[in-house]
Amino acid sequence: MPEGDTVWRTARQLHRALSKAPLVRCDLRVPKLATVDLTGREVLETSARGKHVLTRFEGGLTLHSHLRMEGAWRVYAPGRRWSGGPGHQIRAVLATGAHSAVGYRLPVLELLRTADEDRAVGHLGPDLLGPDWDEAKALSRLLADPARPVAEALLDQRNLAGIGNVYAAELCFLVGVTPWLPVGEVPSPERLTALAKKLLEVNRARTLRVTTGDVRAGRNLWVYGRAGKPCPRCGTTVRTWVPGPSSTRRVAYWCPGCQTGPPPPSA
């Protein structure tokens, strides 16, 4: 699933391409929206809320989309070939005179009254890249269940919005704990929220996500995606844990040399 910084960039791209212009084409290819036509309405703005994309139109309507694992929005200039996937994967086309925004494989696409956006995003915690960011509130939610494994608590969008599997793994590394340590036992837990905010902010304009400070591909992350490779800090082999098919947990990465705490549940 895309991290919050990826969704933020997507929303910014859509905002720049579509805002302050009327739609000349609207094609929403999901059954419940098949008869909806927003042609002629001005696009007011597109913004991100956690991992949700909200495109607002004049007349008080919002198109809400969520990328989940496979979804993507692509922007094309007139005459440019659409290359985000085969035609049968297209779920939405929003076009102005200057650009076409094409939504591929969108698992969530719904039209809401703008006044009712909380139906889609009201459950989210403070947004790491949003104007509502409240570090004290995020920390309070994160620690509300102190026995919960730290990675699970970070991934719960009701605590703080924007963290995905990459950042959960990297944050656990940076504070020196395994993903399964109870969040209430993390030393100086306020470092988690402060680092999460810092990492998403510095990466929101980058296509290559960097947590190590090294912008070279292959050296940009500490542990995520590095299973079987030496830890960039201590040289210990980075390990991975894959949950069983019925588990709701996600794949985890950690360095046994740099991170202390409980082993994975299956160990």
CB 108 within 8 A of CB 65: yes
- Provide the angle, in degrees to the nearest 10, between the axes of the packed helices 165-175 and 190-203: 130
138 has a pLDDT exceeding 70: yes
The domains found in the chain, sorted by start residue, are 4-121 (3.20.190.10), 135-254 (1.10.8.50)
Of 111, 116, 195, the closest CA to residue 160 belongs to 195
Catalytic site includes residue 232: no
Tokens of 127: 């947004």
pTM here is: 0.94
Q: Which of 87-91, 146-150, 246-250 has the weakest average pLDDT? A: 246-250
Catalytic (active site) residue 51: yes
> What is the CB-side half-sphere exposure of residue 237 using CA atoms within 13 A?
4
- Give per-residue pLDDT as tens, 48-87: 999 999 999 999 999 999 999 899 999 999 999 999 999 9
Contact assessment for residue 23 and residue 63, using Cβ atoms and an 8 Å cutoff: no
Contacts of 180 (CB under 8 A, 6+ apart): 149, 150, 151, 252, 261, 262, 263, 264, 265
At 177-227, the pLDDT tens digits run 999 999 999 999 999 999 999 999 999 999 999 999 999 999 999 999 999
Q: 2 catalytic, yes or no?
A: yes
Sheet strands (E) in the chain: 21-22, 25-28, 42-49, 52-57, 61-66, 72-76, 90-95, 100-104, 108-113, 239-241, 252-254
Per-residue pLDDT band for 114 (boundaries 50, 70, 90) equals very high
Catalytic residue flag (residue 179):
no
Check whether 249 has a pLDDT greater than 80: no
Closest CA to 17 of 74, 82, 85: 74
Res 248 pLDDT > 90: no
Predicted confidence band at 108 (pLDDT cuts at 50, 70, 90)? very high
Among residues 3, 9, 49, 126, which one is catalytic? Answer: 3
Query: Catalytic one among 9, 51, 74, 91?
Result: 51
DSSP state of 150: H
Q: Which residue among 29, 137, 250, 264 is the active-site one?
A: 250
Helices (H), 19-95: none
Q: Which residues on adjacent β-strands are paired with residue 42?
A: 22
